[in-house]
Amino acid sequence: MFNCSISLIILFAVLSTVAGDRGICAQEKLDLESCAQPHKEYIHSLSDVTGREIHNPKFMKKFVEFTKTASSCIGSNVTCDASRHYRFFLDSLTNMGNILYQESNLDCLKNIAPTFRFCYRQARMTYNTLVDVSRIVRKMTKFTDCLRKELVARNVCTRDSVKNINVAVKIIRNLVRQYEKWTNGEMVPMVFNIEKFKDD
């Protein structure tokens, strides 16, 4: 199955900076810390994530519930860049997880596990690639392009599942691009909008 460990790595990297980020508005910084506080143990546990957890629907449902709860806590009325970035990352991860872990989509993913492995090898992705921001965008683009083509070519999933997974793949690609911009201090605050990732 597709290794979404990059999503977990991104989330951990973003959330682990909440306490140390001095550039955000004072009140929103306190609010972010307040939102993170009840989940500190869980957030810390994500540092031990290996990527295999992506195969565990129970683990991932808990992860998606966490991202949804944290995003809701931050709220939609934040105005400072950092708060808006955190909200964007959390909403992206929530929507991606909700799509991938719908039962019909999950069954599709299981059916095409060999395709994921093939595309993973084609893109020459490794753990080092996933944690190297300078290389990840190029590798993820190769991987997701391969994946989309293979999903269309193979007739082992319903049309709806293929469309849904395609949306999730687009979300992942965008998430990786925005993460690269965020690490370089170039990310522009934005609101996650799933419609942007759906085909017309």
163 Cβ contact partners less than 8 Å away, ≥ 6 residues apart: 198, 199
Whose tokens are 């599942």? That residue is: 161
pLDDT at 193: 93
Report the predicted TM-score, pTM, of the whole model to 2 decimal places: 0.74
Kindly state the tokens that stand for 31.
């609010």
Backbone angles phi, psi at 27, to 5 degrees: -70, -40
pLDDT at 95: 93
Higher pLDDT, 116 or 93: 93
What's the whole-number mean pLDDT along residues 148-162?
Answer: 78
Contact 8, 172 (CB under 8 A): no
Torsion sign, CA atoms 111, 100, 154, 112: negative
2 Cβ contact partners less than 8 Å away, ≥ 6 residues apart: 54, 109, 116, 120, 147
pLDDT-derived band at 47 (thresholds 50, 70, 90) equals confident
* Amino acid found at 148: R
pLDDT at 91: 94
Q: Give 7-42 pLDDT, tens digit per residue.
A: 555 555 555 554 444 454 778 888 888 888 888 888
Q: Give 126-138 pLDDT, tens digit per residue.
A: 656 555 556 666 6
Kindly state the tokens that stand for 72.
């809701």
Of 152, 167, 151, 159, the C-alpha closest to 114 is 151
CA atoms within 13 A on the CB side of 185: 2
